[in-house]
Amino acid sequence: MSNIERTLSIIKPDAVQRNLQDQIKQEFKNKGFEIIEEKKIHISKEEAEKFYKVHETKPFYNDLCKYLSSGPIIVLSLQRENAVMENRKLMGATNPIDAKEGTLRKKYGISIDKNSVHGSDSIDNAKIELDFFFNR
Ligand code: UDP
Ligand code: MG
């Protein structure tokens, strides 16, 4: 039984600034992800606030939105079997210190805020987040 899904990945400003996008895209391909769509964009703080609205009440919300809008990002629509969960596994824990060996955040993340990649956390959120960046 195949369960092909799509999920949203973002290569965050810290990784784009260090020119890691090709390396990170290769990591997705090595794990069987197909890149369906991608674009490099620089979003405003207001757009970042919309994207991260679920975190509105968190103490890190303002800094997070400032950060995501601080420089160019690469947004990717990734497809494979169980894409949402497989991408979360490949990314690793939110804090690079806690991320397992071989995960993207372990390899490339600098700190809990500059953790190099975003990935949708559920199938429903993947749809919402892909719409946000690709169908507007
Ligand atoms: N974040 C942060 N400080 C925290 C927790 C999260 O700066 O204490 C940032 C971090 O960049 C993270 C993003 O907020 O990737 C969204 O947090 P979430 O808990 O959804 O983690 P994720 O789903 O990205 O692993
Ligand atoms: Mg999250």
Domain of 34, CATH number, reads 3.30.70.141
**Minimum-distance ligand to the CA of 88?**
1
Domain presence at residue 16: yes
Domain presence at residue 5: no
Domain presence at residue 127: yes
Of 86, 70, 68, nearest to 78 by C-alpha is 86
Count of residues making up the chain: 136
Query: How are beta strands 34-41 and 73-81 bridged, if at all?
Result: antiparallel
The whole domain housing 106 covers 10-134
Domain presence at residue 22: yes
| Percentage of the residues of the chain whose pLDDT score is greater than 90 | 97
Give this prediction's pTM: 0.98
How many beta carbons lie within 10 A of that of residue 115, not counting itself? 23
Tell me how many domains the chain contains.
1
| Residue pair 18/74 in contact by the 8 Å Cβ criterion | no
Is 64 close to ligand 1, i.e. is its CB under 6 Å away? yes
pLDDT at 93: 98
Instruction: For residue range 69-119, list pLDDT tens digits in order.
Output: 999 999 999 999 999 999 999 999 999 999 999 999 999 999 999 999 999
Domain presence at residue 3: no
Domain presence at residue 109: yes
Ligand 1 centroid distance, CA of 57 (Å) = 13
State how far the Cα of 114 lies from the Cα of 135, in Å rounded to an integer: 27
Is 115 close to ligand 1, i.e. is its CB under 6 Å away? yes
State how far the Cα of 73 lies from the Cα of 47, in Å rounded to an integer: 13
Domain presence at residue 38: yes
The one-letter amino acid code at 74 reads I
